[in-house]
Amino acid sequence: MRVASPFFTFDQLHNFPVLTPPARLAVIGDPIAHSKSPQMHNPALMARGIEAQYVRVQVPVGHVREAFRLFADQGFLGVNITIPHKFEALDAVDVVDPLAARLGAVNTLAIREGRLYGYNTDGPGFLRSVREAFGTEVRDLRVLILGAGGGAGRAVAVQCVLAGCRHLLLANRTESKLAALLDELRSLTTEAVALETCSLDHGQLAARLVGVDLVVNATSVGMKDGDAPLLPAGALEDRHLVYDMVYRASGPTELIRQAAGVGARHADGMCLLLHQGAISFEHWFGGEAPLEAMRTGLMTTLAALA
């Protein structure tokens, strides 16, 4: 039967329970019980008429390679990979997609005839979600990435440059940590790309926002109530586009509240999760993913948690 809360342990991979429809897709992480991916992918499988279901599996650090082989042995078709396994996954696949190699992390596994293919949907999911949320392309925007020194910020920065963004401002708590990223970004293009850095100091950000169209929060700030604001009060204008990669079932983040308060268009990480999931689905099954079925599944889940 289709389980209501599809959660399993790593040990169960050695002799996976028989389900109807059979488990053929999974998301792994440590922890993973909180993941909303099954509520997105199972409606997509039903919409496509695919007799399979998507489950969550808790995999400890250091066991990703073994888990991948066990998934293949059990007849799984694919796996999504989340924190903290994206870097370990890169070394555990047989074939690495060029973009995943460039980003240095794998978050989607496709299993084809026993071979393990690794992809990264972070950057492409970002591009699609910006297009949907704001009706424009990243290449046409001046972009500020808050927390560019972290894994999510780096992925967005690389994707922005690959997409042809001509003006990119990278903000990080410690500017010196951005030096290697700047070198990498410059190596990705022969075009004239304006790359600048600044700290997360409110004074610097207030001054720099004048020349920015899209603000991207790639930090974890906003996940908890009471987190200090990332931007100083009054710095955002109604012309700004605000993209917070954080999402919370309990309500909008402080950054989203700031954007809404001045009438700026905004989107949160749920949009990114949706489009990342759709791209994963397309790697597994080809064609376009049933996006609206996936969106409805996510929205129904969040509404029940609110």
Among 36, 86, 177, 224, the one annotated catalytic = 86
Same domain, yes or no: 110 and 175: no
Same domain, yes or no: 112 and 133: no
Same domain, yes or no: 218 and 275: no
Same domain, yes or no: 88 and 220: no
Q: Give CA separation, 21 vs 2, 4, 56, in Å.
A: 6, 13, 15
- The predicted structure's pLDDT at residue 303: 77
Q: Is the residue at 278 inside a domain?
A: yes
Q: Is the residue at 2 inside a domain?
A: no
For residue 248, give every residue at least 6 positions away whose Cβ sits within 8 Å of its Cβ, in sequence order, or none: 222, 223, 268
Same domain, yes or no: 102 and 145: no
Domain assignment of residue 100, given as a range: 7-120+271-305
What single string gives the DSSP state of each residue in 37-97? HHHHHHHHHHHHT-S-EEEEEE--TT-HHHHHHHHHHTT--EEEE-TT-HHHHHTT-SEE-
Please name the amino acid found at residue 157. A
Helix axis angle for 179-187 and 151-162, nearest 10°, is: 30
Q: Within 13 Å of residue 299, how many CA atoms lie on the same side as its CB? A: 7
- Gap between the Cα atoms of 150 and 173, Å rounded: 10
Same domain, yes or no: 250 and 204: yes
User: Phi/psi of residue 227, each to 5°?
Assistant: -60, 140
Closest CA to 75 of 38, 22, 29: 22
Same domain, yes or no: 66 and 98: yes
Q: Is the residue at 214 inside a domain?
A: yes
Q: Is the residue at 25 inside a domain?
A: yes
Q: Is the residue at 1 inside a domain?
A: no
Same domain, yes or no: 128 and 237: yes
Q: Is the residue at 153 inside a domain?
A: yes
- The predicted structure's pLDDT at residue 6: 80
Residue ranges in the chain modelled with pLDDT below 70: 1-5, 306
Q: Is the residue at 112 inside a domain?
A: yes
Same domain, yes or no: 211 and 86: no
Tokens encoding 98: 């060029």
Q: How many domains does the chain fold into?
A: 2
- The predicted structure's pLDDT at residue 1: 43
User: Do β-strands 108-112 and 78-81 pair in parallel, antiparallel, or remain unpaired?
Assistant: antiparallel
Same domain, yes or no: 234 and 256: yes
- Gap between the Cα atoms of 305 and 297, Å rounded: 13
Tokens encoding 274: 């949706």
- Gap between the Cα atoms of 219 and 180, Å rounded: 18
Is 224 in the active site? Answer: no
- Gap between the Cα atoms of 111 and 285, Å rounded: 11
Same domain, yes or no: 142 and 262: yes
- 17 DSSP assignment: P
The pTM assigned to this predicted structure is 0.92
- The predicted structure's pLDDT at residue 304: 77
Same domain, yes or no: 236 and 138: yes
Which CATH number does the domain housing residue 154 bear? 3.40.50.720
What single string gives the DSSP state of each residue in 193-257? -EEEEE-S-HHHHHHHGGG-SEEEE-SSTTSSTTPPPSS-TT---TT-EEEES---TTS--HHHH
Q: Is the residue at 11 inside a domain?
A: yes
SS3 of residue 26 by DSSP: strand
Contact at 8 Å (CB) between 196 and 148?
no
